[in-house]
Amino acid sequence: MHEQLNHLRDSLLALDTHIVKLLNERAEISIAIGTHKKSRGLPVYDPGRENEVISSVMEENTGPLSPASLRQIYREILSVSRALQKPMNVAYLGPEASFTHMAVQSHFGDSIELSAQSTVHDVFEEVEKARSAFGVVPVENSLEGSVKQTLDKLVSTPLSIMGDIYLPIRHCLLSAQEKLETVKRVHSHPQALAQCGRWLRNNLPRASLYEEESTAAAAGRILSDKEAAAIASKTAASIYGLTVIAEGIEEHPANITRFLIIGNSGNQPTGRDKTSIVFGVRHKPGALLRALAPFSRRNVNLTKIVSHPLRDRIWEYLFFVDFEGHAAGKDEAACLKQLEEAGTFVKILGSYPMGEIQP
C-alpha cells in the first residue's frame, strides 16, 4: 500500500515540476507581451482579453476540477502576469475586508497593490489624479437599489467604466467568543442589519443593534468586547481573528451587489459587451419615450434604466441606462446619435465586457 502511495506522490511531483516549467514559460511570454504593449502605449489591463482566456480555459475543463476552482486558479495566474508586465494599484471603497475589497480580489487576484479609501468620492479622486490605475466602487444592490454617491460621480468624472463585478453578499455573525447566548450587542452597516433582521429577531431578540459605517468597521469594533458580535463577511473573520458563530444569516439568498471598475481608458468590442450611458431629456410629455424609441426600433436591448434627480432642478431627472452591445457598434452608434438629437445631455460612461456573478 505504501508503495502505491509513494508512486502516486512521485507522479504528482513530476507533474508539479512540469507545471512550474510551463508557468515560467507563460511568464516569459507575458513579459514579452508587456514590452510590446508598452512600446505601443497599450494598457496592461485588458478585461476583454482576460475574459477570452478564462472562457477558453473553462471550455477545456473536463474535471474533476470544478469550474469555480479552475476560474480561481486562472484569476491568480492572470493577476501575476499583469504584475510581471507592470505593477498595478487599485483604489477601492474600504476598509480591508469590506465587500468592495472582496470584489477587487475576486476580479483582479492578489498580485495587485491595494489602496483603501474612506468614500466613493475618494476612490474616483485617486484614479482621476493618477495615484491609482483603477478604482472599484459599488453601484447597485439587488435588494437596496442604486448607490447615489456613485451615480453622482459618474455624471461629472472624466473616467470611464472599464468593467463590472457581481458579488453575492453572504452575511455571517462574528464574535470574539463562540457562544451565541452571550451576545448582547450586534454591530454592522445599516443595510446588513436590515438584510439580517429576521434572523436577528428569531435568534437574538433582546440584543441591541448598533449601526457602523461598514461591515468591516463593525468587525474591528467588537475585537475587545466579549458580549458583542458583528454582521460581516467570512473574510472579515479571517482578517480580524474572529469566530464565525453563524453563516448565511441574510434573509434573501439572491443578494448581489454590482461593482464598477473605473479607469482612464476604453475597451475594444469583444462581441459580448455592455454600454452604460447617462442622459437628460426636455421636461415635456413623451420626451423619454421618444429618446428611447430608437433602441426599440434597432432591437438594442436595454438592461437597466434608473432615474436620478438633478440637484439644481426640482423634479427634473437624469436617466442612467445600460444596454447590450458596444457604443462603436453600427446599431448602437445610430441609437446614441438619435438620442443626442432628442435629448438635452448625453454622456457615454463606458463600453465593457459583461460581468458574471462570482462564485
259 is catalytic: yes
150 is catalytic: no
Left (φ > 0), alpha (ψ -120 to 50) or beta: where does 350 sit? left
Q: 268 in helix, strand or coil?
A: coil
Which is catalytic among the residues 99, 134, 259, 279?
259
What is the identity of the amino acid at 137? Answer: V
Q: Which of 358, 291, 348 is nearest to 325 (CA)?
A: 348
Question: CA-based diameter of the chain, in Å?
Answer: 83
Report how far residue 167's alpha carbon sits from residue 99's, in angstroms, rounded to the nearest whole number.
8
Beta carbons within 8 Å of 235's beta carbon, 6+ residues apart:
97, 101, 102
Report how far residue 284's alpha carbon sits from residue 265's, in angstroms, rounded to the nearest whole number.
36
Three-state DSSP string of 286-347: CHHHHHHHHHHHCCCCEEEEEEEECCCCCCCEEEEEEEECCCCCHHHHHHHHHHHHHCCEEE
Q: Which of 319, 195, 326 is nearest to 271 (CA)?
A: 326
Residue identified by cell 439572491 is 254
**Using an 8 Å Cβ cutoff, are 324 and 285 in contact?**
no
The cell for 49 is 482579453
User: Using the 8-state DSSP alphabet, how is residue 285 labeled?
Assistant: T
Burial of 148 (0-12, 13-18, 19+ CB in 10 A): exposed
The cell for 227 is 458580549
Which is catalytic among the residues 150, 215, 257, 275?
257
Burial of 84 (0-12, 13-18, 19+ CB in 10 A): middle
Give catalytic residue positions.
Answer: 257, 259
